[in-house]
Amino acid sequence: MSKNSDNNSNTVEKEAANWKSELISWVQVIVAAALIALFLNSCIIANSQVPTSSMENTIMARDRVIGSRLSYTFSQPERGDVVIFHYPDDPTGKTYYVKRIIGLPGDVVDIRDGGVYLNGADTPLDEPYLKEPMETGFFGSLHYEVPEDSYFMMGDNRNDSWDARFWDNTWVKKDKIIAKVLFRYFPFNKMGAIQ
């Protein structure tokens, strides 16, 4: 065997080893990235799409949002927070909703004359995020007393929102709140923080 054929054989073996090494390196990177993404999505962030117009103009139909799963680890949900939660009328727990917290534990919520009145107040809740004034004529006045460890949710598009006013199970328990919505990330031309 000539020296030249030995060199060619060594070069082919080295190239094959380099190719295998490169492939293993890429597989390791992809697996690590998948594990990190799974951890982030399970423990740190929540990703959700809003399929309807119920939160317009804050979040438009088909917008995608990111929420923090850690927001309520050391604090309580606050009135006005936009949250991702398990829809209380779905026994499987697989349906996620995105709505705004209106009633806190122990609150008395009255809806009348197009406004939301809290705890016997004479003036309605200031809600600059609403798409348009709420029409209440078709269901008249509504009265809710929020139980402890529960929240009353409504959409910002009150005239086109399937929210706590219509659910069989009106309240969302704290342990059913998945995350506080932080920002919209899709479509890209509408990226921004959610207020």
Going from the C-alpha of 155 to that of each of 5, 88, 119, 180, the distances in angstroms are: 75, 15, 20, 15
% of the chain beyond a pLDDT of 90: 62
Instruction: Look up 173 and say whether it is catalytic.
Output: no
The residue from 48, 53, 71, 99 that is catalytic is 99
Handedness of CA 80, 69, 67, 55 (dihedral sign): negative
Side-chain-facing half-sphere of 92: CA atoms under 13 Å: 3
Confidence of residue 58 (pLDDT cuts 50, 70, 90): very high
- Where is pLDDT greater, at 123 or 140? 123
Q: What is the mean pLDDT of residues 124-147?
A: 89
Q: What is the pLDDT of residue 30?
A: 84
The residue from 48, 53, 54, 71 that is catalytic is 54
Q: What is the pLDDT of residue 40?
A: 64
Poorest-pLDDT segment among 22-36, 46-60, 121-135, 164-178? 22-36
The residue type of 191 is M
- Summarised one tens digit per residue, pLDDT across range 90-118 is 999 999 999 999 999 999 999 998 999 99
Instruction: Look up 53 and say whether it is catalytic.
Output: no
